Amino acid sequence: MSNSRRFTVVAAALALPALVAALSATAQVPPHSPGTICHTPQFWCWAPQPGAPGAVCYCPSQYGWVQGRLG
């Protein structure tokens, strides 16, 4: 197998799981009005106070509050 072909196969193998994870994460957010869901890097929660999309918000977790952005 040539080096360019090997690189293509490795790149595809690394990119595919990332794409699937990104699509599955966005699919789990229910329909909502803008500014009512707080998106963190790992999960989302309903915003305690709706606000402007992009504003800082916080979601509770088992380890404390996690910062996110309203979406």
Do 18 and 44 fall within a single domain?
no
What integer pLDDT is reported at residue 22 of this predicted model? 46
What integer pLDDT is reported at residue 19 of this predicted model? 43
pTM above 0.75, yes or no: no
The domain tally of the chain equals: 2
Do 38 and 71 fall within a single domain?
yes
Do 69 and 37 fall within a single domain?
yes
Do 60 and 71 fall within a single domain?
yes
Q: Which two tokens mark 18?
A: 């990332």
Do 49 and 39 fall within a single domain?
yes
What integer pLDDT is reported at residue 53 of this predicted model? 96
For Cα atoms 20, 25, 38, give the angle at the middle one, nearest 5 degrees. Answer: 155
What integer pLDDT is reported at residue 9 of this predicted model? 58
Do 25 and 40 fall within a single domain?
no
Mean pLDDT confidence for 35-40: 96
Do 36 and 68 fall within a single domain?
yes
Say how many C-beta atoms besides its own lie within 10 A of residue 63's C-beta.
Answer: 6
pLDDT band at 46 (very low <50, low <70, confident <90, very high): very high
Do 49 and 62 fall within a single domain?
yes
